[in-house]
Amino acid sequence: MKFSYGALAGLIAAIALLILVLFTIPVLIRAAKATKEAEKTIQSANESIQQISDDVNGLLHQTGDLLDKTNVLLADVNVKMKTIDPVVQAAADLGESVSDVNTSTRKMAKRFNNFHWKRNGLVSSALASVFARHKRRKGED
């Protein structure tokens, strides 16, 4: 059996191709396993995203309900504040009146302190006796 150079070259090429295929098979098997794992991971990620999406939709619905209830509560508080406004205004007016009375009392006390009792002997002695009588009564009680 005689091989020609062309047949020998073909045989060498066929052997090289067989070796290449044999070395490529494990790489292809590993690539197929990696692809399956990637598909599983993508499927798991899709399920997680779907679950998160459902949870977010539920939260958005609950948030909407909560905002509606908050708006109702705020409207109720506003109505009640309108009924309290006259009371607050009356308290402010009362405070202003008390302040005016306080100012008037201070002015009167200042005038009373500035009045010279010694010049009016009769009035001062009458007041002194009234104050003394008042002090005695307090002491007796």
Q: How confident is the model at residue 141 (pLDDT cuts 50, 70, 90)?
A: very low
In the chain, domain spans: 7-108
Does the pLDDT at position 37 exceed 90? yes
Contacts made by residues 121-124, CB under 8 angstroms, sequence distance 24+: none
Measure the CA–CA gap between 127 and 110, rounded to whole angstroms.
18
User: Could you tell me the pTM of the whole model?
Assistant: 0.44
pLDDT (0 to 100) of residue 54 = 94
For residue 41, the 8-state DSSP code is H
Q: How far apart are CA 16 and CA 13, in angstroms?
A: 5
Q: Taking a C-beta distance cutoff of 8 angstroms, is the pair 108, 100 a contact?
A: no
- Could you tell me how many helices (H) and strands (E) the chain has, helices first? 2, 0
pLDDT band at 18 (very low <50, low <70, confident <90, very high): very high
**For range 26-55, the mean pLDDT:** 95
Highest mean pLDDT among 26-40, 94-108, 118-132: 26-40
The pLDDT tens digits of the residues spanning 49-93 come to: 999 999 999 999 999 999 999 999 999 999 988 888 888 888 888
In the chain the first and final C-alpha atoms are separated, in Å, by 152
Cα–Cα–Cα angle for 44, 49, 51, nearest 5°?
Answer: 95
| pLDDT at position 16 | 95
